[in-house]
């Protein structure tokens, strides 16, 4: 069975841009397999995406998308949609780079043939931690969408027993109690 990579893109420090990583954490806590499916959260790697997609035949990307529609709505796009994006002059290595990474791999004769983008329309992308209500409400829908699309590709996800708690570490607020300070009894 060929490997399937499910990748979350986006920045957890930038509001709704953290939706991709959030979905990956939920998938990882909810499903234990099958073995050929991996859930990876890679942040905003630009062209550094290449190492994470080079050895997979099927790639599912979860990311925010700029599209017409209301915040929290989900849009699906295929490989052809991504490859049809115009390329333009690039000043920095951070331009999203999905198309460039796929093209570079294709030129070298590798990379995923089957690409699906599960896109969430964001409400607020700006410095600050936490999803908007609309995008937060869409997370379970995005998770189900990924599960359904994987099942359609012959990879039915196996629920984790017991179901885990997603590690949304970036939403933990403030200091945790155990900071060791020199004066006994001080926890803040």
Partner 1 sequence: MSKRIVVDPITRIEGHLRIDVEVDGGTVRNAWSSGQMWRGIELILNGRDPREAWLFTQRICGVCTTVHAIASVRAVENALALEIPLNAQYIRNLILAAHALHDHMVHFYHLSALDWVDVVSALKADPARAAALAEGLSPWPGNGRLDLQATKDKLQAFASTGQLGIFTNGYWGHPAMKLSPEVNLLAVTHYLQALDQQRAINQVVAILGGKTPNIQNLAVGGVANAINLDNQATLNMTKLFKVKDLIDQARAFIEQVYLVDVCAIGAMYAEWLGYGAGVTNYLAVPDLPLDAKGTTFDLPGGTIFNGDLATARAITSFTDPYFRDNVAESIARSWYKGDWTRHPWDEETDPDYKAYDPGGKYSWVKAPRFQGQPMQVGPLAQVLVGYATGHEATRRWADRALATASKVAGARLDPKVLHSTLGRHLARAIRAAVICEVAAKHWQLLVDNIKSGDTTIFNQPVFPRGEVRGFGFHEAPRGTLSHWVVIRDGVIANYQAVVPSTWNAGPRDGKNQMGPYEASLVGNPVADPEKPLEVLRTVHSFDPCLACAIHTLDPEGREIARVKAL
Q: Where in 60-89 is the site for partner 1 (CB under 8 A)?
A: 61, 63-68, 75, 77, 81-89
Q: How far is the CB of 39 from partner 1 (least distance, A)?
A: 11
> Rounded to the nearest 5°, which phi and psi values hold at 56?
-115, 145
Task: Report, in Å, the least distance between residue 88 CB and partner 1.
Answer: 3
> What x-and-dash track marks residues 113-142 binding partner 1 by CB under 8 A?
----x-x--x--xxxxx-------------
Structure tokens at 104: 């570079």
DSSP structure class, residue 117: E
Site membership for partner 1, residue 183 (CB under 8 A): yes
Q: Which is nearer to partner 1, 70 or 176 (CB)?
A: 176
Q: Within positions 2 to 21, which residues make up the interface with partner 1, using CB under 8 A?
A: 9-14, 17, 20
Name which of 109 and 162 has its Cβ closer to partner 1.
109
Asked whether 110 and 59 are in contact (CB, 8 A), the reply is no
Decide whether 93 or 154 has the Cβ nearer to partner 1: 93
- How far is 50 from 95, CA to CA, in rounded Å? 14
CA-to-CA dists, residue 11 to 19, 45, 127, angstroms: 8, 10, 10
Backbone φ, ψ for residue 73 (5° rounding) = -75, 150
H or E element that contains 32: strand 31-33
Decide: is 188 part of the binding site for partner 1 (CB under 8 A).
yes
């Amino acid at each position: 069975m060929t490997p399937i990579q499910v990748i979350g893109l986006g920045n957890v420090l930038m509001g709704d841009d953290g939706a991709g990583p959030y979905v990956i954490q939920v998938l990882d806590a909810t499903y234990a397999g099958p073995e050929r499916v991996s859930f990876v959260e890679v942040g905003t790697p630009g062209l550094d995406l290449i190492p994470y997609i080079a050895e997979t035949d099927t790639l599912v990307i979860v990311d925010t998308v700029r599209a017409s529609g209301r915040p929290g709505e989900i849009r699906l796009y295929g490989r052809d949609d991504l490859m049809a994006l115009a390329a333009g002059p690039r000043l920095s290595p951070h331009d999203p780079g999905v198309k460039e990474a796929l093209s570079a791999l294709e030129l070298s004769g590798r990379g995923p043939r089957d690409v699906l983008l599960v896109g969430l329309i964001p409400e607020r992308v700006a410095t600050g931690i936490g999803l908007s209500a609309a995008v937060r409400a869409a997370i379970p829908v995005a998770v189900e969408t990924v599960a359904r699309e994987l099942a359609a590709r012959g990879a039915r996800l196996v629920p984790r027993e017991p179901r885990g708690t997603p590690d949304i570490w970036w939403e933990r607020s403030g200091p945790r109690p155990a900071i060791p300070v020199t004066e006994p009894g001080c926890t803040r």
